[in-house]
Each structure stands twice: as structure tokens, then as C-alpha cells.
Structure 1
């Protein structure tokens, strides 16, 4: 591999890594002032823990030797010593580092659903267990030679050219994280006083900063993998990532204006994230026009979906379900209709839609069930949710002994 491609691989890895602090800012601005440190710590805790686990055994688990293997052997190259001594160590280790950033942000995304009420130690325990039992195997299924990658030939025969499309993580990242988030909201229950208007963001500029960092880093997220393919499709991927996201902002704001009478900056930021989510699996397999339509539809639908928590009674604090689960499902299933050459309305048949649906539902159900079991076990043993007293005092002071905004009053005033 030439030095230019390697350099882009390093840059792309750094861009995706920056997305996790972006999530921290985005989530941190959305919560109450007395919870912002806790919210950001959950992202940074995921960054630390999942980064270590990926190097130790996660990378090993994300590649399988047989289509029906659940996951790779975690001890096949524990700590990657053999890989580091190999002839292709330079590019192999860079690939591991790039993949690690996907694992990290997937786990960090889940935390937004349980804002204002979760213990940090319990969150870290859940994060490590869920990554091991869910993300690492699902990454193997989708990208590492597993059953989802080969589902097309399994169902339709070896002669088919149709396969599940998940370029950068509609199933493995967003549906996966969104389903786990939904499970944890049910385990931990509602915050005290939960209701419409309860969870107003405490710092709107912080939300916009986080969304901007996410959009910036997402070009590494979507286009980054193309360094392995010598940047063959990076132009289309970059344009689709830009276009779908911009269109999603418009879709969200139009719905917000009709529904609430005013378009908001938080709505614009949320619309941008929903568009980024939807284009993630589809960025390399849609023409720019279909990407714009995907963005508008996703922004509009997600603007409505975030209201479901009030009607259905689950406390998804920062709309992980409404944005990541719903947006991930839309982006994944949209390919069944409009994927270039294989979509139902773009030259193909129903096969692409069938494959997308099976993959999406399988990951959704598996992630939800395992997350619920893990969350329930933690809650019933060491406890996952804060006490009402600590919740009222604020997670920052109760758990971390810190305050995001230390205000000193001059005694002379």
C-alpha cells in the first residue's frame, strides 16, 4: 500500500476517534447542568475500556474462519503480538486501530438513553460485557466473514451477486446501539419527573459543537474504509455523507415547524445526526439524488419518532432510540428499494430488501435481548440506577464529586 493511502488511513482513524468526544459534547449539552460531567465521562469511559478490550481480544473476535462461527477466537492472538511481528504489520495494525474506533463509538452511543440516572461503575461493567457479547460478534457477522456477510449466497445460491449492504455500520453500529439503548431504558425505568418538556438541554452551543464534530468525523467514518480499496469510491461516499445530512436537517426542521411552530437549533443538530446515521450503511451504494431523498425522509421521520417515548412510556433521555435505531433502520431498509443496481426500484428485485430486513431484525433482536439481560443482572446485583436522593442531587456530585460549572461568588459583591 502506498504512503498516501496509509496516511489517509491514519487521518480517518483520528477522525472517527474524534467522534466519541463529539458524542460527549452532543450528549453533554442535552442533559441537565448537574449531569454533564457524568454524561461526558460515560463516553470517555467507553473510549478507554473498549479501546483496551479491542486490542486484547476484540479484534480477534471480529473475524471468523467459518460463515456460521459465532465469533472469532478471542485468544488466537491475545494482545496482537503475532500481528505486530508479521510482514504486513504496518497496514494490519492500522486496520485494527481504525476498526477499534467503530467499536468505541457504538458503545458510547448507548449511554445517551440512560442519562441522569446511571452509576458509572455499572455502566462500565455493562459496556465491557455488551461489547464482548454483542458488538464484537456482530462486527464479525457483518464485516468479518460471518453469516450476515454471506446471507445472499446462503438464501439465493452461490450464483447471486446480491449481498447485505452495510458499508459503515447501519446494523453493526446504529441498530445495534439503538436496540441496546431501548433495553436499558426499560431496565432502569423513568427519571423522576419524566414527561414532555422535562429534559430541556442545558447548553445549546455545546449540542451544536458536538453535532459539528460528529459531522466532521463522519467523513472518516464513511470514507475511511476506502483506504483499503485505494480510495476507489471515496468521492461518492463523501458527497452522499454531505448531501444526506444536509437534507435531513431540512426534513427535521420542516416537521418541527409544522408540529411545534418553531424550528430550533437543537432540532437542526438532531436532524444532522439522524441523516448521518441513515447514510452510514448506504453511502457507497446510492446515487446522490437518492441520498438526498433518504436524508429528507430520515430527518422528518426521526423528528416524529423522538416523540414516541412520551406516548409509549420509555425514558430514552437523549433520543438514542428515536435517532439511531429508527435512523439506522431507515438507512438499512432504504437500500432494499434504492441501492444502485440491486434495489427494488433501481434495477434489482426483492432480494436486496429481504436481505436488509433479515440482517436488521436479527441484530436488533439479539442486541436488545442481551442488553436487557445484562442490564437486569447488573441492576439486581450491584445496582445500575442511582438512588432517588443521588438522582435529585445530581449525578456529577453524587458519582464523580465534580461540577461542570464551578461558580465562585466574590464575597465583596
Structure 2
């Protein structure tokens, strides 16, 4: 572990040297002179706070309520650690790798290091993708997406992973998986140039995290007692509060991705609410038929399924399209979280793949069906083939990258806690803390 820490410090030092050496007063390739839009800046400031709230406390409570009492603190710690690690990495290199210029004329797979340590960013610069916003604000807003993505993955390996392994995983995964995919779709890379549409993160965030979660669940194996012991959520009230915070925060996630306070932001906001409601209904109908009773957890899961499904399409479809995306996403995610998991017998603890992987895939494909230029001129490039190509690329990059990172963790920190510690609970064995009755 000491060798890993030394290597990480050496990497930071080398990046700092690169940043200092490349410092120059001229604008970087991805930059423009700021032409401030005060209304849009105010909305993105608000959206940044809303999306940050999605991880802390939204996702933390949503996941924390679904685990057993003995693992609540460990689950909350994953979301908190993801926030801390990704924020620092975003400043050091993540932003530059995601939204910096790749230096490749044909649009590469990852950005360069010109903006490492935010070199060249000033109050008067803007990213070329959002010239009306201060670049510092753009950086903060995009950071919130980078934070929640690995935090979502933690739902798949909850209740059995070493905390040290999760720390190393978050570190490597942000640099080697999230940043390249973000660049390829949003930062000037090949998928964006191909015409792959991802309005607010269906592929970059949800499919990326969902596939990584599935790989992690398969590599780690099931929890001890899975399929035999009672692993019911310990506090659905926590989960309901977390889902409510996610719903509100998702308005910043989707409507904020218009990058302006305009009509597209307005339709994205309405589509987000409508799709969540439609998916909750779709999920609960299937659950009622399948289990003979509706559950609060089902309603909450359906709500999140709809939010995930509409994310890639939020500012590209009209409300009719949003309604159908939500109505399809609910049952599809139910099938992924219940029937698929049961059939294949893998232990995705909190359904990271069932909700985010399946919902993101469904939403991304349906974006190619329902996107319309009547809502957004960018929908002109919409087609099912491009969406499928983009999804295949994200699945492959995330799946292979996640597997390799898990192997690094396995042979350095180790992945799973010992059986006795898992049975006792990660709160005490990993953190020395407990939730009192």
C-alpha cells in the first residue's frame, strides 16, 4: 500500500511538472474568451448545487437505507470517499483528460494534460462548449457528474468490499474509464463526432457505471448468505428520502445540461419529472402482477429507473417521447433488477446494473427513436445505429477497464473482507463505528 501511495504521489508530481512547463498566457485549444450570460450562469450555479446534492446526501441515503444495519456507515463512506477522491483528481488531471484537447486531428480517445491543475483557467476564460459560462463554473458543474458516477458503482459491491480497495478503485477508474469516455462522448472525441447523442449522461454516467457495477459484482462474487439469508433493506425511510433528493437534484442534472436558462432547459425539466412518474407506474404494475403486492421500494426504484432512462434524451425529445421512455424504462429495469439477476444468480447488491445499466441502455437507444428537431436542432443526427455503436463502445471500454482495475486491486489491496468480518459487518470491521438502535 505504501508503494501505491508513493507511485500516486510521483504521478501527481509529474503532472505538476507538465502543467508548469506548459503554462502559457494564450488560450488553450478548448477555450474561448468569456462572453458572460448572467442568467445562464445563475442557473448552472444552482444546477451544480443540485447535482452535488444527488451524491451527498441523495445517493448516500438511497443506498444507505437499502443495506443491512451493520453496513450503513460503510455504504455512506463510499459516497463520501467518491466525492473527495474525484474532486481532487478532477483538479489534478480529470478535467483536462475529459474536456481538454486531445491534440489529435481525428478526435482522439482522451484529452491531453494542457489543463492539468487547471493550468490556464482564469475568471475570463470559458470552455468552447459553453462560451456564456465562466470556465470555473463549467468545471464545477461537470465535476458533479464525475463524482456521482463511481458512487453509483458502489451499489454493486456494497457489503463486502474492502474500503482500501474501493479507494484505489475510485482513483484508477476515474482516470482510466470515466475521463476517456467523457472525452469521447462530450469532450470532442470520436463518439461525439459520429453523432452519438447523450444529453445529460445516459452513456457517460449510467451505462458506464452500470456495466462497471456488473463486472464488479461478478468479480467479487455474491455476499455470504446471498439467496439464503434475509438481506432486506434496514430503513426504507432513508431510501425514500434519498430518492426524493435524487429526483430534485436530477433537475439540475438534466435541465442544467442545456447549459443555459432557455426553452431546452424547460422541456428537459418537465420531461425529467414526467418520465420518473411514468416509470414508477410501469415498474409497480409489473411488480404487482409478479409479486401480488406493490412495494414502496418498487415505487422508488421505478422512479429512479425513469430518471435514468430520460437522462440521455431529456433535452432532445418532446413530452410524448419522455412519457414512452419512462413507461418502457420502468418494466425494463424491473426485468434487469429482478428477473435477470435471478436467472443469472449474480449479486448486484443494490441493483447498480439493473437500474443504471439497463435504464441507461434503454434510454440511449430510445433517444435515437424519439429525438426530434422540433425540440432541439441537435436531434438532426439522431439515429438508432449511431446510438447502438456508442453504447457498444462504452460497454466495451467500461467492462474491460473495470475488470483490469479490479485485478490491480485484487493483487495489491485485496478486494473482499474476510468472511468473519463480512458477517460481523463492515461498519465496525472496516471503520470501527456502528449504528446504534
Note whether the superposition's TM-score is higher than 0.5.
yes
The correspondence for 2:52, drawn from 5, 14, 17, is 17
Label 1:273 to 1:197 Cα distance change in 2 as closer, same or farther (>3 A): farther
CA distance in 1, matches of 2:229, 2:272: 32
Residue 4 of structure 1: how far off its partner (Å)? 2.4
1:375 alignment partner in structure 2: 406
Q: Does 1:211 align with 2:254?
A: no
With the length of structure 2 as denominator, give the TM-score of the two structures: 0.86
* Residue aligned with 1:184, SS: helix
CA distance in 2, matches of 1:5, 1:127: 32
Residue 81 of structure 1: how far off its partner (Å)? 3.8
Equivalent residue runs for 1:3-402 within 5 Å: 3-21=38-56, 22-63=58-99, 64-65=101-102, 66=104, 67-74=106-113, 76-84=114-122, 86-88=124-126, 91-151=134-194, 163-195=195-227, 198-226=230-258, 228-307=259-338, 308-341=340-373, 352-402=383-433
CA distance in 2, matches of 1:132, 1:87: 24
Alpha-carbon contact 1:196-1:310 (below 8 Å) kept: no
Residue 305 of structure 1: how far off its partner (Å)? 1.4
CA distance in 2, matches of 1:234, 1:348: 18
Contiguous gaps of at least 5 residues in structure 2: 1-35, 128-132
CA distance in 1, matches of 2:72, 2:176: 29
* Superposed CA offset, 1:177-216 (max 9, x none): 0011011111111111111774311001001001000000
CA distance in 1, matches of 2:206, 2:46: 23
With the length of structure 1 as denominator, give the TM-score of the two structures: 0.90
Q: How many residues align?
A: 389
Alpha-carbon contact 1:118-1:384 (below 8 Å) kept: yes
CA distance in 2, matches of 1:80, 1:337: 39
Contiguous gaps of at least 5 residues in structure 1: 152-162, 408-413
Residue 85 of structure 1: how far off its partner (Å)? 6.1
Label 1:57 to 1:86 Cα distance change in 2 as closer, same or farther (>3 A): farther
Alpha-carbon contact 2:123-2:135 (below 8 Å) kept: no
Label 1:87 to 1:32 Cα distance change in 2 as closer, same or farther (>3 A): closer
Alpha-carbon contact 1:244-1:292 (below 8 Å) kept: yes
CA-based RMSD of the aligned residues comes to 1.9
CA distance in 1, matches of 2:126, 2:373: 35
* Residue aligned with 2:107, SS: coil
Residue 139 of structure 1: how far off its partner (Å)? 0.6
Alpha-carbon contact 1:113-1:317 (below 8 Å) kept: yes
CA distance in 2, matches of 1:166, 1:54: 21
Alpha-carbon contact 1:274-1:298 (below 8 Å) kept: yes
* Residue aligned with 1:296, SS: helix
CA distance in 2, matches of 1:88, 1:222: 21
CA distance in 1, matches of 2:77, 2:94: 22
Residue 230 of structure 1: how far off its partner (Å)? 4.3
Residue 59 of structure 1: how far off its partner (Å)? 0.7
Most deviating of 375-384 and 394-403: 375-384
Label 1:376 to 1:251 Cα distance change in 2 as closer, same or farther (>3 A): same
Alpha-carbon contact 1:199-1:317 (below 8 Å) kept: no
